[in-house]
Amino acid sequence: MALEIRIAKGGDATAIAHVHVESWRAAYQGLMPSEFLASLSVEDRIVFWERCLLDTPPTTFVALDRGNVVGWASCGPSRDDDGAGTGELMAINIRPSHWRSGVGRQLFNVVKKELAAFPILTLWVVQGNARAIQFYSAMGCHPDGATKSIRIANFEVSELRMRRRTT
């Protein structure tokens, strides 16, 4: 694999949207209603990403394998009420065909470097997402005791917050 990681550009919205939908359908199977996952729309995600890539923060990075986007990660200052002075990994999504290939680790390390001005990096992960929790634990993150429930469409999802030092 010839991996390149760079800051996302407006022209990446379509490729990011495809990875976003594909990764959610695979990662959240059994954790979110199957009807919801089936209803995810690449077209809706393209509109979202076209808007999102105009804003800063967050900063979004893409991972390319031979010129094709196979993953992305977004980060910036924490959005949490108690997150002043903390950086946040807002999302990381990898095409399932590239899970366990090192793409996630490389994206995580780029995010950690991007957030180096903050002493702490936090992230929220869906409770029960064992694959993601195992990955973040391997990257040095640990649960900090904070949990929340978020509403997605017509259902609730419980998340737990993980953190680590950026240095």
Residue 15: predicted pLDDT = 98
Q: Residue 87 domain-assigned?
A: yes
Residue 57: predicted pLDDT = 78
Cα 2 to Cα 166: distance, rounded to the nearest angstrom: 27
> What CATH number is associated with residue 44?
3.40.630.30
Count of domains observed in the chain: 1
Enumerate the H helices of the chain as residue ranges: 13-27, 34-39, 42-52, 103-114, 130-138
Cα 111 to Cα 38: distance, rounded to the nearest angstrom: 30
Task: Tell me the pLDDT of the chain (167 aa) as tens digits.
Answer: 789 999 999 899 999 999 999 999 999 999 999 999 999 999 999 999 999 998 777 999 999 999 999 999 999 999 999 999 999 999 999 999 999 999 999 999 999 999 999 999 999 999 999 999 999 999 999 999 999 999 999 999 999 999 999 98
Q: Residue 156 domain-assigned?
A: no
Phi-psi region of 113 (alpha: psi -120 to 50; beta: other; left: phi over 0): alpha
Q: Residue 114 domain-assigned?
A: yes
∠ CA 99-27-94, rounded to 5°:
40
First-to-final CA distance of the chain: 28
Q: Give the C-alpha distances (Å, rounded to integers) separating 166 from 10, 100, 112.
A: 28, 23, 6
Residue 162: predicted pLDDT = 98
Backbone angles phi, psi at 19, to 5 degrees: -65, -40
Q: Residue 43 domain-assigned?
A: yes
pTM value? Answer: 0.95
- Tokens 């919801």 appear where? 36
Q: Which domain holds residue 35?
A: 3-119
Residue 56: predicted pLDDT = 76
Give the helix/strand (H/E) hosting 80: none
